[in-house]
Structure formats: structure tokens, C-alpha cells
A and B are shown apart, each in its own frame.
Chain A
Amino acid sequence: MAKKDSSVPSSSRSAVESVAEKKPAAALTQLVTAVEMGARQREISVSEFFTKNRHLLGFDNPRKALLTCVKEAVDNALDASEEAGILPDVTVQLEVVPTGGTTLPASQATRFRITVTDNGPGIVRQHIPRIFAKLLYGSKFHRMRMSRGQQGIGISAAGMYGQLTTGKPVQIISRTGPKAAAHYFEVQIDTKKNEPLVHENKQIAWDQPQGTQVTLEVEGKYQKGRASVDEWLEQTSIANPHVRLIYRTPEGETKEYPRTYHELPPSPREIKPHPYGIEFGMMLKMLQDTKGHSVSGFLSSDFCRISPQLADEICKAAKVSPNMKPRDLKGPVAETLYQTLQNTKIMAPPTNCISPIGEKAILSGLYKQIKGEFYTAVSRPPAVYRGYPFIIEAGLAYGHRPEDQTKPKQPAGPKAEGEGEDEHSELARVIRYANRVPLLYQQSSCSTFKAVLGTTWKHYGISQSRGALPGGPMVIFVHMASVWVPFTSESKEAIADYDEIQKEITLALRECGRRLGLFLRRRERAASEFRRRNIFELYIEEVVEACNRLKGGKLPKEKLKAQLQKIATSRTGGLKTDEALGKTGGGPEGLPDSIIVTAEGIEGAVEIAQQVEADAPKAAGAAVNDLSDKEQMAATNQGKKQKKEPAKPEKKAKNKPVSRKSAKSEKSPAPRGKK
């Protein structure tokens, strides 16, 4: 579905207007005649336009530009691999380019080389120059199918930005299969004509059997933190757990985001436009381009959900002859037809054109990247706005891992008033996605963010000040998948506020919140059980002593104490009561599509967590620098130590009077999963 319906994007309208604005002033002073003005009129190429208006494409400042370049290349790599049915392996490398003979540290450098390599299908040699050095050239624009890229501008714009700021061409290596040759290209864009200039084109030896590698040299700024390349890649990895991502930072670190979900998302189908989604101008254009010979045929073949029979009915209702040639349909008659289309009851579009991430994959992604104690994910059924089908997905990661909970050792003893309150000052973080791509800018104008604010989190036991984000250690994940995501602007940063979208997001968030609420209540219950037991144990001693004195000191104290302690334990439900576990309601532990991490193990969707753990030794997001000599030394030293005195620790363990804890942990297998 086209957003901009010709070779010039809609934003160029503003350029035309600004020219028009000058006219009255000119007329007033009579300095420029119409003829002179006419002579000045010139076609503006897209490239020229975007050179001047690069902020429209996300190149407003060096920091954002660096991110945009990475994003465009990675989006393309993922789109291509998925479309070709390949589980993506993507490597992103950022290097500081020396300027003036010196290599600055990454945080101060102004020039970077970005290299993104994928294992996708590769690109046919003939297309390479235009893909990378012609704006508005691509395979995704003219179809109704969910993908990250849409407009055919992305990578060539990044190339153009590099060319503009560093003068360097884009370097491409691409290979379509192990039997094909790898081609190396250096291309630049002729901004006047919006045509590629090929500087270099040769076959090379490449160690990869298939895929594409793009290298861009650009002016940029590397700074970690919010809205950084690092954050974007991390969030990409959360929403795309089927991707293996390796990131070599400009500081020389290597981060690996392992693949934790080993299935490709189902390939979305391409669909035809739905009559409800279309704009009038678009329909006029379709009438010109159609292969149908009659209006009736045009309706049934160029739109989805219109049968020939329905097409005839629509024509009849619009008082248009069904056999009329589509090209002849113009003016008010066309408008009547358009109105009739909008007013006719037509089935919602098919939804197989979008592929949601899925609850399991979201859980997997969240579990992998965010250390929490509770995770849940919700995929809503498909819905429709303006005729476009879409699916909303939401997820939550809440709390701290049990091992981290005990870490901040608070000083023992009673807290003074106001002490320990700052814990609650932490606010939730919202991570937003459109078609699996993280959105990092313009959070507050995004429909997802508004829905988060509009949800009453207090219902679920989460604190929330008026008009603010909910409080607490929580990450809220929202994804909108659609054939056409309605962004608030060209830079694709925030999702527009359609009622239908807002409603779906809210419903998804509520379900997540409801589950979190259940979890929190259950945990609270478990905590109070614990408190109860503590209270009893505290008082048992006193009661036993008092009884003993009452009985004249002739009481077998230890026996009474043991008996009472046993009652205390059984009264508070042993280690963990069924009640505390919440063995009520359906689904694993009553919470569908959720993972609960406790000190004793994992509950809920265990297989997902286990898969992540299995992939974890490759270190999720952790530095996997090749072992330095020092570390290797340390490692071998440790080994030696262990060899030296192996007997002692064993003996100790045996002699111990059976630590109750170890006995327990042996009995219950770590992950408490579905039964």
C-alpha cells in the first residue's frame, strides 16, 4: 500500500508551498517577472530534496544518524533473510575512522565505519547499484505485506548521508549462493539525477557462502544510553529472538545476542488493498493502472474481500455500469463509487498478511534480555483500522531476579520514617516496536505510550502517579504488526493514535497487568506466609518457657518446642503453600504465557526459559572477548587449585549434619513446570 503515491514523497508538497509563498512578495516589489520565474522552475530530484531535508529520514544529528544507518542496514538484512526463509545471522560492526591521522576514542570520534553482514539471500548483481544508490528503489513498496522496510529509501538514504558527510561511497559485497561468485561494489548516488554511479565492480573471494555485507562510512557520534545504537540492538534482539546478532562496538567489545527462538516467524502473505483502507486519490490511480477491463472486474480483482457478485452489487448501488471501462471512471461518478465502497458492508481483510512475534517468542526475548522475576506476553487477535489489519502484542518483565533481590544488603534494624521509600521512585520503561523494529524516539506522542499511561496500573498492585508511567522495576513491551503502520511522521518514530489501535493496545496491556497483579498478589501471600512463620517461631520460645515455668520447670522443653515448630510449619504451608503458588485457575500455575522466576527455579513457560538458558553460555549480551592471556592464566590456576585439594571439600560435605537446604533442593527439580 502506497503512502506516497508517486515518485515524490508527500513531504515535497511543503517544498512546493514554500516556493509559492515567495510569490506574493515578489509580485509586490515587482522585482521578478513571471517569465523570469518560469525560467527558474526546475524539477527537484528526490535525492536533492532529501539532501536538504535529511531530518525527515532520521539524520537530524550525528548521534541519531549513526543509529539510522545501522537500523536501515539491519532492517534490510532481517527482511531479506526472513523473506528467503533463512534464520538470520547478523553482524554489526562499528569502527572509529581515524580523522586527521589520529584515532580518537569512540566517545569523541566523529567518523565511523558501519559494516552490517547478513546470511540472507544476497542480491542479484544488476540490482545492487540501484538498491544502494537510488532513492525510492525497492521491492517492498508496491505490496501489501508486513515488513520492516517499506519505502525503498532506507539504505540508499543512509548511503547518501555517508556520501554527503564523508564523501565515501557505499561498499557492498553480495553473494546469492555458495556456487555463485561474490560481487564487490562501490557505489555513489548522483543526487541531481537520483541515479547510481558505480565506482568499483569486481568479483572477489568471500568467506561467506551467501549473504550481503554493506559498509558505510558516515559522520556520527557514539554515545551509549537512551536511544543509542546499543539500546536499539538490544531491543531488536528482544523482539527478534530468532535472530543471532553479533555486535562489535566501536570500543572493541563484542556483544552477542544468541538465537533463543529457533523458528522463523511465519512468512506473512501478501494481500490486496482493502476498500476501507484506501484513499480516494489512491483509488483513482488504481483505476488507471488496473488490468481489469470493467469496473466490476477491477473491484473484484484489485481489492481483497470483494467477490464478483459483491462488485456488481456495489456498482448497482453506486449507479455505475459494471461494464464501464475503469479508465473512464472519473469525477463525481468515481467519488460516488468511492463513497459506496466505504459504506458497503465488506468483510474485514484477511490477517495472514501479518505475522505477529507470538507470545512464546516475546517471552523468550524478554527473558533473554531482561533480568526479572515475572514475564508475561499477550498477542491480541487481529483487528482492523482504516481497512488495514493489524495485531497488537504486549509483554511485561517485572522485578529483579531472586539472586539480585538480596544483593542490596540493607542495614539491619528498624527503618526510620521515610527510609526505604526511594525504592519506589523507579518508573517502568516502555519499549515500543512497529513490525519488530524498536522505536526509540518521540515516545510521548506514540499511541503505545499513551495507552500505557491510560492504563490504571493500580488495579494490578502497581503504583502510579496521575498521568505518569507506572512505578517499579518493570519493562513494558508493546508491538504493533501491520501491513501499514500509521506513523506520526516520515521518520517512523511514533505510532499514530487511532482509536482501534489504542483500544487493542489497552486490552493487551490490561491482560498483562491482570496477570502481573495475580503474580504480585500471590507473591505477597507467600511473603505473608513467611512473615507468619517468623512470628510463630519468634514466640514459640516464649510460650515454651512460660509453660515450663508454669509446670514448675519439669517440662521436656525441646519436645514441646519441636512439636510447636512442626505445627507452625504445617500451618504456614510448609516450604511453599499451594495457596502461595496459586494453584487456582487454568494454565500453568494459572497464568498463561508467563514465566515466573523464583529462588527455587522457573515456573510457567519453562521450556522457553530453558531454551534461553541453554543458549546463554554463549553469554546473552555479555562481553565475549576472546579470553585474554590473563584470564586464561586465571582459569588454569583455578583448575590447579581444585586439583590440589580435592579431598577436603568432599569430606566437609559428608560430615555436615545434613543441611536441610541441600536435601530439599535435591528433592525438587529446579524448574517447576507444567504438570
Chain B
Amino acid sequence: MATKQKKMTTAVEKKLIGLADVVITAAERAKDPTIAIPIRALSNVSFNERKGLIEMGCKKQARSFFNVGMAKKFMQTMLVADALSELQRADLTTSLREIYYRTKHTIADSHENTFDTQDESDPVIEDLEVSLAALREELHVRAENSGSIVGPVVFGDDGDRVDCAKLGKGGYSVPSIVEPEYLEIRRCTADFVLLVEKGTQWNRLSEDKFWRRYNCVLLTGNGQPPRGVRRLARRLHEEHRLPVYVLVDNDPWGYYIYSVIKQGSINLAFESQRMAIPKAKFIGLSSADPERYELPRNVGIKLNEKDIARAKELMNYQWFQKPAWQAEIKRMLGSGLKYELDALANKDFQYLTKKYLPRKLKEKDWLD
């Protein structure tokens, strides 16, 4: 994919080699080799109200080799670091899964595998991103492409001109690395970005050419939007001053998706700086909508225990403290129901395109 100029040693590579030095120096001094890894958990993030971002704290966790509980993780970290530095030297990009396969083998004289599942290697990569303060793109690791865009925007991708207004209803598949050196935004005449949680509703809007009528860019990440989608939305917002509206299901997971787009995620708080869109607005589905849009109760789904617990958790997050949001979540809990975007089809197949969104936009009915 990427064909960047080959340097002697990249900064990232230097950082990776530094890990080997940690081991060598510690061994020299008969000390336990230890890497400090910033903690990626709620306990180590704070909400910067002024910036509207979730920021990572400075709590770190020591990962030591000579500690039974961490020895394997340490070893895995070194293996992943090795694989990542190999990518740097060869100037290749790869996927999480390929890293998993690259580093997986059976340890000599044993039946033990270095990694048993990809679930073990993915977090190690994230650990390295944080502790080396290197972006995933800088590490040459890409996520799966799982986002789509359609609308009046023209990209330059590997020298190709991609006009998203001329790609039919399928649109353009958002690459996982959308940094300017990989993806150029050549032209954008849209008025806003509509980021839709679900591919199905994005399809509906695309098919109905909603974007043409309302001059907007339609984006989806098929669920929790991947970095590429988030980063692209942020670039459109930043570089072309487009407001971003988020359309999700009315359930706690929808709320959280919105909050990740707006303030950043707990797990990747260190990326908030360049991913979050603090001015993004929540356009729907709101817990107030069923009444306002007269959705029958029978298209709702009863909240299960997990939903309720998650909703209560959200209410405690600093970034959900605005009265409107507390009311929004409380209303959902009070009704005991959640609604999918798809439920709008109950009224009419094109209800979303023809009634719901136009009215929302007209009434400026969104949450901040």
C-alpha cells in the first residue's frame, strides 16, 4: 500500500529498538527488565471539559519480565516489537491479523505457543502504540477497511482521483489509514457530514440519494467506526469546516459510539487529540423520538440487564453529565425500551430519508 521514502532509521524504529536496549541494560545490571505501559482504562482517563476530549492520564503499569504474571506478556511484547521493526525496515504495512500470524510459533522444547489467539496480540500492539507514543499508522499497522463514504467529495488515493459523488450507491471504501500523505482531500463541497452507525441505514440513505438532496457526505463505520472513518470525519470537520452529525440506534451502545466520535474512547484516549470531534452532534435516534415521531411501542425492544447496566455506567461518565444527556438516558431507562434505526421502516420504507432526517435538520433537533 504505502510507498513512502525509505529513510535510514525511522523514529518509530528507534523507539522499537529501544525496547531491546531496556532488556540488555537491565540484564547487564542484573535488574528485572521493565517497560512502563500507560494504563488504558477508565481509571487513567480524564475528561477535559475545556477541550471536550477524553485525555489519557499518566498512570503507568510496569510490565516486568521476571514476574510470573507478566513474563509471557513481556515476551509477547518483545516479539511484537520485533515484528513491527521488521515492517519499518521493509517499509510495509500490515494488518493486526498478519502480525498475529507473523509472531505466532511454538516455543522450543515445549507445547506452548507464543500466542494462542489474536486476542492476545491485538492488545500488545495497542500497548506499544501507547507506550511508544506512536500512531498505529506510524507503526505501519492498518485495520480492516470497514467504512464507506459517499457524497460531494474528491480524494486522491495513490495518485487516483476518487470522486465520491460518482461511485454509485456503493460509495468509496474508507481506507484504514487516511493521513494526508496517504489520502488527499482534493475537493469537498458538502455542507455537513452524516455519520451513520449502521451500514443498512447508510445504504438506505445512499440509495435514496439523500446526500445529493441535502448536500452532505454520508459516512458509516458499520458499528463502532474504525479509526480510518473517525479520522476521515475529523479531517472533513477540521479541514473543510463541516459539522458532523451522528445517527445511531437508540440504545446505550449507540450513545457510546456517539461519545467515542465526539470525545474519544477510553481505550485509545491517547488518540483523542487527532480523532475526536468535540463539536459533533447527536442527531438521533433519541429516546424522545418515539413519542415525537409516533413510533408504536411494539417496534421497541425491551432493555435487557446488560443494557440497563451499561446505561447507568454511561450516566456516570464525566462527558455525559450535561443535563440534556442525563435526561436522554433517564428517559430511555424510564421507558424500558430501546429502538433500532431500522424500526423507522415501520412507518414507511423511506421514512428515514423523507421524513425523519429532514424534520430533524429543519428543527435542529439534536443533542450536543
By a CB distance below 8 angstroms, the chain B residues around A538 are 107, 109-110, 112
Q: How far is the CB of B17 from chain A (nearest CB, A)?
A: 5
Q: Assuming A536-B66, A563-B27, A570-B30, is B72 touching A546 (CB within 8 A)?
A: no
CB atoms of A539 and B107 under 8 A apart: yes
Closest A residue by C-beta to B105: A542
Are A547's CB and B65's CB within 8 A?
no
Report whether A536 and B71 are in contact in the complex, using a CB–CB cutoff of 8 Å: yes
| Interface residues in B54-104 (C-beta closer than 8 Å to A) | 65-66, 68, 71-72, 74-75, 78-79, 81-82, 85-86
Please give me the residue from chain B that is nearest to A539 by CB atom.
Answer: B75
Q: Kindly list chain A residues whose C-beta atoms are within 8 Å of the C-beta of B111.
A: 413-414
- The reply to whether the CB of B114 lies closer than 8 angstroms to some CB of chain A is yes
Task: Check B32 against A567 for contact (C-beta < 8 Å).
Answer: yes
Residue B28 at the A interface, CB < 8 A? Answer: yes
Is A424 among interface residues, defined by CB-CB distance under 8 A?
no
Q: A542-B114, A543-B65, A571-B66 are in contact. Are A564 and B27 (CB under 8 A)?
A: yes
**What is the number of residues of chain B that contact chain A, defined by CB distance less than 8 Å?**
32
A547-B112 contact in complex given A531-B68, A536-B66, A563-B28, C-beta closer than 8 Å: no
Instruction: Give 1 or 0 for each of B12-53: 1 = CB within 8 Å of chain A CB.
Output: 000011011001100110111100000000000000000000
Contact of A539 among B30, B31, B74, B82 (CB under 8 A): B74
Chain B: interface secondary structure? helix
Contact A546 B30 (CB under 8 A): no
A543-B24 contact, Cβ under 8 Å, with A550-B85, A567-B66: no
* Residues of A with C-beta under 8 A to B107: 538-539, 541-542
Beta-carbon contacts under 8 Å, A514-571 to B: 528, 531-532, 535-536, 538-539, 541-543, 546-551, 555, 560, 563-564, 566-568, 570-571
Q: Which of B17, B27, B75, B108 contacts A551 (CB 8 A)?
A: B17
Contact partners of B110 in chain A: CB under 8 A: 538
Contact B27 A535 (CB under 8 A): no
**Cα A436 to Cα B86 with chains together (Å):** 76
Query: Do the beta carbons of A550 and B68 come within 8 Å of each other?
Result: no
Shortest A488–chain B CB gap in Å is: 53
Whether B20 lies near A551 (C-beta < 8 A) is yes
In residues 624-664 of chain A, which contact B (Cβ within 8 Å)?
none
- Chain B residue numbers with a CB within 8 Å of A568 are 66
Q: Which residues of B contact A555 (CB under 8 A)?
A: 20, 24
User: Taking each of A413, A564, A568, which has the highest tally of chain B beta carbons within 10 Å of its own beta carbon?
Assistant: A564
Total CB contacts across the A-B interface at under 8 A: 80
Q: A interface, by DSSP: helix, strand, loop or mixed? A: helix
Nearest chain A CB to B72's CB is how many angstroms away? Answer: 7
Chain B nearest CB from A388 CB (Å) reads: 56
Nearest-CB residue, chain B, relative to A531: B68
Query: Is the Cβ of A563 less than 8 Å from the Cβ of B30?
Result: yes
Take A535-B71, A538-B110 as given contacts and tell me if A546 and B27 are in contact as well, using a CB distance cutoff of 8 Å. no
Residue of A nearest to B27 (CB): A563
**B-facing mask of A414-454, CB < 8 A → 1, else 0?**
10000000000000000000000000000000000000000
Across-interface contacts of A564 in B (CB, < 8 A): 23, 27, 65
Measured between beta carbons, the chain A residues less than 8 angstroms from B20 are 546-548, 550-551, 555
Are A547 and B71 in contact, with the CB atoms below 8 A?
Answer: no
Min C-beta distance of B153 to chain A, whole Å: 41
Nearest neighbor of B13 in chain A, beta-carbon distance = A550
Q: Given A413-B111, A414-B111, A571-B66, verify A543-B32 contact (CB < 8 Å).
A: no
Interface residues of A in 478-506 (CB under 8 A from B): none
Cα distance A336–B19 in the bound complex, in angstroms:
93
- Within the complex, the shortest CB–CB distance from A407 to chain B, in Å, comes to 24
Q: A536-B71, A538-B110 are in contact. Are A571 and B32 (CB under 8 A)?
A: yes
Q: Which residues of B contact A548 (CB under 8 A)?
A: 20
Chain A: minimal CB distance from B75 (Å): 4
Pair B72/A547 contact, Cβ less than 8 Å: no
In the complex with contacts A536-B65, A538-B112, A567-B32, A543-B72 CB distance below 8 A: no
Q: Are B78 and A542 in contact (CB under 8 A)?
A: yes
Q: How does the 8 Å CB contact mask read for B318-330 relative to A, with 1 for contact and 0 for none? A: 0000000000000
Give the chain A neighbours of B85 by CB distance below 8 A: 549-550
Within A570-603, the residues touching B (CB, 8 Å) are 570-571
Q: Which residues on B sit within 8 Å (CB–CB) of A528?
A: 68
A541 and B33 CA atoms in complex are apart in Å by 15
B78 touches A546 (CB 8 A): yes
Q: Roughly how many angstroms separate A546 CA and B24 CA in the complex, as a whole number?
A: 12
Closest residue of B by beta carbon distance from A535: B71
B24 touches A547 (CB 8 A): yes
In the complex, A542→B76 CA distance in Å?
9
Chain B residues within an 8 Å CB radius of A414: 111
**Please, which residues of chain B bring their CB within 8 A of the CB of A550?**
16-17, 19-20, 78, 81-82, 85
Known: A536-B71, A550-B85, A551-B17. A543 touches B23 (CB 8 A): yes
Residues in B104-148 with C-beta less than 8 Å from chain A: 107-112, 114
Contact indicator A543/B75 (Cβ below 8 Å): yes
Chain A nearest Cβ from B136, distance in angstroms: 19
> Which chain A residue has the least Cβ–Cβ distance from B78?
A546
Q: Write the nearest CB–CB distance from A469 to chain B, whole angstroms.
A: 35
Give the chain A neighbours of B23 by CB distance below 8 A. 543, 547, 560, 564
Interface centre among B19, B72, B82, B86 (most CB of A within 10 A): B82
Q: Can you show 7 pairs from A to B with CB atoms below 8 A apart?
A: A536-B65, A547-B23, A550-B78, A550-B82, A563-B27, A563-B30, A567-B31
Chain A residues within CB distance 8 Å of chain B: 413-414, 528, 531-532, 535-536, 538-539, 541-543, 546-551, 555, 560, 563-564, 566-568, 570-571
Q: Could you list 4 further interchain pairs (A-B, Cβ under 8 angstroms) beyond the known A535-B71, A548-B20? A: A531-B68, A563-B28, A567-B30, A568-B66
